[in-house]
Structure 1
Amino acid sequence: MDNELNNDIIELIDEDGNEVDFELISSFELDDTRYAVVAPVDSDSDDAYILRVEQDENGEDIFVGIEDEDEFNDVVEAYNELMEEYDCDCCDDDGDHDHDNE
């Protein structure tokens, strides 16, 4: 998939050659690999996609679908754990989780 990054909007080219705008929801690293969570801009659904972030020969970020089922499952699990940390409601928005000090 080709892409163009503009603020938090990523333009991806699908397999049919259509340009589709996605909003960058989140990005994170797992095992030294970057991943991005994106959602279609022009959609009423709550669909989101996790893509691996790689670099092309010019050093530009490209977004690649995750085809390996084991990698995909590991990435989804890591993302869910990350979101649980942010949704724990135990901190005062300072990043210090009260349960981390126990």
Structure 2
Amino acid sequence: MSDLDEKEIMSFRDENGNKVDFEAVARIFLEEQEYLILSPLEEGADEEDAFVFRVDEVEGKEEYNLVEDDNEFEAVKKEYKKLLY
């Protein structure tokens, strides 16, 4: 599955405990690792504001971890662009 057919909204808490809603833009698989590209649903946000989360399985549950490594982020972004074009 690449692009999501219907909007998938996910909510997270920011560092201040405020609820922030994101739209799942795409689900990417790189070498068996799953990633989600999430875009904030706040006004004025655009695709450039998207975040990449790595989906890790921890004790049988999905855990979403923000990708902060530049190389990993760029690899996911590159794969996403391949899906678009």
Task: State how 1:1-102 maps to structure 2 within 5 Å.
Answer: 8-46=8-46, 47-57=49-59, 59-84=60-85
Residue type matched to 1:63 in 2? Answer: Y
RMSD over aligned Cα atoms: 1.7
Shift of 1:62: 2.1
Question: Which consecutive unaligned segments of at least 5 residues does structure 2 have?
Answer: 1-6
Larger radius of gyration: 1
C-alpha distance in 2 between matches for 1:60 and 1:42: 28
Indicate the percent of aligned positions where both proteins have the same amino acid. 34
More contact order relative to length (CA 8 Å, sep ≥ 6): 2
Aligned residues: 77
Deviation (angstroms), 1:40? 1.3
Normalising to structure 2: TM-score of the pair? 0.76
AA of the residue aligned to 1:51: F
Question: Taking structure 1 as reference, are residues 54 and 43 closer, same or farther at Cα in structure 2, changes over 3 Å only?
Answer: farther
More strand by share: 2
User: In 1, Cα distance between the equivalents of 2:54 and 2:12?
Assistant: 13
Give the Cα separation in 2 of the matches to 1:62 and 1:77. 23
For residues 64 and 35 of structure 1, the distance between their equivalents in structure 2, rounded to whole angstroms, comes to 9
- The amino acid that maps onto 2:56 is E
Structure 1 stretches of at least 4 aligned residues deviating more than 4 Å after TM superposition? none
What's the offset of the Cα at 1:61?
Answer: 2.0
* TM-score (normalised: structure 1): 0.65
- Give the C-alpha shift of residue 76 in structure 1: 1.1
The amino acid that maps onto 2:81 is: N
